[in-house]
Structure 1
Amino acid sequence: MHTRGVRRSVAATAALASFLTALAACGSPQGTGGTDAAGRATRTPAATAAPTRIPGVGERLRRRIPSAARQVVAVYGDGKDSADSTVVLYTKHGSTWQRERGWAGHNGKKGWTTDHHEDDDRSPVGVFTLSDAGGVLPDPGSGLPYSRSAAFAAPRWWPKSYWHDFDYVIAIDYNRVKGTPPNDQTRPEGQKKGGGIWLHMDHGSGTSACVSVPKPAMKHLLRTLDPRQRPVVVMGDRADLAA
């Protein structure tokens, strides 16, 4: 009896292993799999589907993204009063958004605001087009119209770590005239509403209101953003972005 019981147990185990192997080979919506050395089923999670909406951006701001926009620079501020942020480039393929690159960055030294004013040291929350670029350095191959000028240079009375902030810049179309160099001083909504808000090179801490990223990020954005793709920036602290 003992020997026959052992044989039945071995046979049952073999049959179960065979069944699990066949089941794994068929696949399932949850993923693909096989069996391990002991005959146990294993499973590899299915790939996550690409999002049809920009992650972390709620309906309020999502409605403001132009339907023709196929490139989005999302700036995720760490907090309402934080100068730290994460900058991510998304590209739309069909109906889905693909995350292309991401970088650590900075925003206004006092954080974010939904009602930006001159010298408040906060970056404006919102969705803004990206139309023009420029800087002190030669054009690195920008897809956006690029204006090179020594007039972009940071004042030499600023800390030395800030001197290269404007070697490359991309104008954020907040209170400015599109189609002009980023350093054009025209303010359609008046001087009190601020302006001159750019994506520019990072100096390691908060800005007056701009968004800053490392030099390799600026070069990549300049070479990648394409007017034909109607690029925009969606920016704010994470709570405001998700609202």
Structure 2
Amino acid sequence: MAVYGDDEDSPDSTIVLYLKEGSSWKESGRWRGHNGKAGWTTDHHLGDLRSPVGVFTLSDAGGLLDDPGSKLPYSQGESYELPKGWDESHRNAFDYVIAIDYNRLRGTPPHDPSRPEGEEKGGGIWLHVDHEDGTLACVTVPESGMRHLLRALDPEQEPVVVMGDRAHLKTWEQPEEPPDAE
């Protein structure tokens, strides 16, 4: 899966799901969404309103609504209710969430507060339902896209998200051939 922002300071993103079919990768979905209100960063800290740039695993899901057929472990409950004081336009934001494994313990529900790298590095960064504007650091996807992702992401395939602004993503060096998997 790829999430790329329009530029380093933009809250607007494109989300693309690629699935492997045989020896090739095929696009399985494309959506417009949002990332951090202040854009992207390679050095995320709590409260900077930027989404972290990097490659992160996707291992756990949850939400307020019933599991739509997720292949990822799915938790449901009050822990996904909107924090008090948040704008009403965000009321459905946590209907479905997928934890982005940035500064979190894999294998725990997305709402788990553990931060292995410390609180100052932030955490609780999710893919969640879009609310039409930038986030505190999460990435948003339209609700239909979230349902699609939950049904498509297979933990046996070890799903990852490559995310960041276009400029940072273009500077990453790609190996010419993948390393041997021996």
What TM-score range do you get, normalising by the shorter chain?
A: over 0.9
Task: Give the gaps of 5 or more residues in structure 1.
Answer: 1-72
Match status 1:184 vs 2:112: yes
Q: Which runs of 5+ in 2 are unaligned?
A: 172-182
Return the match for 2:99 from 168, 171, 178. 171
* CA displacement 1:64-118 (0-9 Å, x = unmatched): xxxxxxxxx1001000000000000001223322111100010000000000000
Match of 2:88 among 160, 167, 172: 160
Per the alignment, residue 76 of structure 1 pairs with 4
| CA deviation vs aligned residue, 1:161-185 (integer Å, no higher than 9, x gap) | 0111111000000000000000000
Distance 1:203 1:83 in 2: 12
For residues 16-55 of structure 1, the aligned pairs below 5 Å read none
Q: Is the 8 A contact 1:129 1:233 kept in 2?
A: yes
The 5-angstrom pairing of residues 6-21 of structure 1 reads none
Q: Is the 8 A contact 1:131 1:178 kept in 2?
A: yes
User: Partner of 1:198 in structure 2?
Assistant: 126
Match of 1:148 in 2: 76
| Inter-partner Cα distance in structure 1 for 2:40 and 2:23 | 30
Which residue of 140, 146, 153 maps to 1:218?
A: 146
Q: What SS does structure 2 have at the residue aligned with 1:112? A: strand
Equivalent pairs, count? 171
Identity %: 66
Q: CA RMSD in A?
A: 0.8
The one of the two structures with greater contact order (alpha-carbon pairs below 8 A, sep at least 6) is 2
Q: Which has the higher helix share?
A: 1
Partner of residue 46, structure 1: none
Distance 1:163 1:156 in 2: 11
Matched to 1:109, the amino acid is: K
Q: Alignment partner of 1:151: what SS?
A: helix
Counterpart of 1:87?
15
**CA deviation map 1:119-148 (0-9, x unaligned):** 000000000000000011111110000000
Equivalent-residue separation in structure 2 for 1:151 and 1:96 (angstroms):
39
Tell me, what secondary structure is at the counterpart of 2:18? strand
The reply on whether 1:227 has 2:155 as its aligned counterpart is yes
Alignment of 1:127-146 (within 5 A): 127-146=55-74
Contact 1:121 1:208 (C-alpha < 8 Å) held by counterparts:
yes
1:40 maps to none
TM-score by length of 2: 0.92
- How far apart are residue 156 of structure 1 and its match? 3.8
The equivalent of 1:113 in structure 2 is 41
- Displacement over 6 Å in runs of 4+: none
> Greater Rg, structure 1 or structure 2?
1
